[in-house]
């Protein structure tokens, strides 16, 4: 059983990374494999809508998006973390996620969770935008006892936000329970089957 944790901040030693480490401690304690992926500071191109990935199964830009997509296809769950930038997620992260989710086929019943970090405001809007990637992918969304947000400007700050830290710890526990329950369900043959997707639009 493996969880990916994607740090969508260019700062690999900032608040989001620290929040992912808080969650990782719980995964470690419960013997769940995990890997923290750093998005880093390199530019990440957005999706150009060429649909090449629909034909070939991967983006023609052979960069981090393809790596994340491959690792996600083998994982049981993913935590996506983002700093709040102008009340939304980091633009580079959104570019990456558009390309990961557009090319990924079998995400059904992988557990998704998102965490966000801000100095002061815009956390819930950012949280909403990240969860939408899961909600369109047949992915159950793990939750906690508050929206998954932490506060600070540098990594030490997040520990002053005790409720935020507890929110992340509970999120990790709930995620483990969901992933284990899904595996048990699969063993018992309870996994749903899906009909071919119907696609309609409103162009007359
Ligand atoms: C370009 C930019 C825009 C930001 N916009 C907001 C904002 O809208 N609201 C807020 O509270 N903090 C904002 N911040 C602060 C970060 O969200 C905050 O410091 C966050 O905890 C950083 O996480 P990190 O250390 O993982 O990068 C912004 C920071 C940057 C660089």
Report field, pTM of the whole predicted structure over 0.85: yes
Q: How far apart are CA 19 and CA 34, in angstroms?
A: 14
pLDDT of residue 202: 82
Sorted by where each starts, the structural domains of the chain and their CATH numbers stand as 2-187 (3.40.50.360)
Q: How far apart are CA 148 and CA 168, in angstroms?
A: 7
Distance 85 CA to ligand 1 centre (A): 5
CA 120 to ligand 1: nearest atom: 11
Give the residues of the chain that fall short of pLDDT 70. Answer: 204
* Interval 52-105: pLDDT, tens: 999 999 999 999 999 999 999 999 999 999 999 999 999 999 999 999 999 999
> In this structure, which residue's CA is closest to atom 9 in ligand 1?
121
> In this structure, which residue's CA is closest to atom 8 in ligand 1?
86
Residue 103 neighbours by CB under 8 Å, 6+ apart: 53, 54, 57, 58, 59, 65, 66, 69
**Among the listed residues 89, 183, 163, the one whose alpha carbon sits nearest the alpha carbon of residue 131:** 89
> Strand, coil or helix: what is 137?
coil
pLDDT of residue 203: 74
pLDDT of residue 204: 65
């Amino acid at each position: 059983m493996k969880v990916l944790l994607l740090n969508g901040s260019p700062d690999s030693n900032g608040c989001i990374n620290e929040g992912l480490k808080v969650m990782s401690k719980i995964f470690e304690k419960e013997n769940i494999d995990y890997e923290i992926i750093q998005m880093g500071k390199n530019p990440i191109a957005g999706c150009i809508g060429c649909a090449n990935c629909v034909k070939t199964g991967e983006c023609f830009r052979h960069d981090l998006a393809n790596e994340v997509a491959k690792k996600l296809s083998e994982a049981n769950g993913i935590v996506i973390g983002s700093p709040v930038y102008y009340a939304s997620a980091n633009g580079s992260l959104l570019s990456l996620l558009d390309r990961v989710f557009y090319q990924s086929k079998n995400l059904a019943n992988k557990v998704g969770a998102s965490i966000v970090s801000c100095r002061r405001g815009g956390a819930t809007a950012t949280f909403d935008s990240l969860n939408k990637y899961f909600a369109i992918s047949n992915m159950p969304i793990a939750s906690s006892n508050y929206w998954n947000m932490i506060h600070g400007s540098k990594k030490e700050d997040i520990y002053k936000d005790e409720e935020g830290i507890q929110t992340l710890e509970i999120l990790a526990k709930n995620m483990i329970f969901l992933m284990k329950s899904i595996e048990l369900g699969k063993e018992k043959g309870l996994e749903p089957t899906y009909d071919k997707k119907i696609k309609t639009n409103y162009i007359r």
